[in-house]
Amino acid sequence: MKKISVVVPCYNEEKNVDIAYSTLKKVMVSLKKYDYELIFVDNGSLDKTRQLITKIAKKDKKVKGIFLSRNFGPEASGRAGLDHATGDAFIGISCDLQDPPELILKFIKKWEEGFDIIFGVYESLDDNELMKFFRGMFYKLFNKIANVEIPANAVGFGLLDKKIMKALKSLPEKYRFERGLTSWVGFKKAYVSYKRKKRERGTSSYKFIDYIKHAERGIFGFSYMILDIMVYSGFLLVFLSFLFVAGYLYWVVAFGNPINASIPIMIGIVFFGGVQLLAISIIGKYIQVIVEETKARPIYIVEDTINT
For residue 40, what pLDDT is reported? 92
Domain boundaries, the chain: 3-204+297-306, 225-295
For the stretch 170-227, pLDDT in tens is 887 777 777 777 777 888 888 888 777 776 665 666 666 666 776 777 677 777 777 7
Is the pLDDT confidence value at 296 over 80? no
For residue 215, what pLDDT is reported? 73
Contact between residue 5 and residue 39 where contact means Cβ atoms under 8 Å apart: yes
User: Which residue has better confidence, 254 or 119?
Assistant: 119
For residue 129, what pLDDT is reported? 67
Fold classified for 3-204+297-306: Spore Coat Polysaccharide Biosynthesis Protein SpsA; Chain A (3.90.550)
Sequence-distant (6+) residues with CB within 8 A of 129 are: none
DSSP state of 32: T
For residue 94, what pLDDT is reported? 84
For residue 127, what pLDDT is reported? 61
Q: CA 227 → CA 102, 146, 172, distances in Å?
A: 44, 12, 24
The span from the CA of 118 to the CA of 182, in Å, is 10
In three-state secondary structure terms, 190 is strand
- Most confident range, picked from 34-48, 129-143, 173-187, 275-289: 34-48
For residue 261, what pLDDT is reported? 55
Sequence-distant (6+) residues with CB within 8 A of 171 are: 181, 185
Contact between residue 300 and residue 84 where contact means Cβ atoms under 8 Å apart: no
Number of other CB atoms surrounding residue 88 within 10 Å: 17
Is the pLDDT confidence value at 277 over 80? no
For residue 204, what pLDDT is reported? 62
For residue 232, what pLDDT is reported? 79
For the stretch 66-93, pLDDT in tens is 999 888 877 888 888 888 888 888 888 8
Is the pLDDT confidence value at 9 over 60? yes
What residue ranges in 51-116 does DSSP mark as E strands? 63-68, 89-92
Handedness of CA 296, 300, 304, 308 (dihedral sign): negative
Contact between residue 88 and residue 80 where contact means Cβ atoms under 8 Å apart: no
Is the pLDDT confidence value at 234 over 60? yes
The span from the CA of 232 to the CA of 226, in Å, is 10
For residue 174, what pLDDT is reported? 75
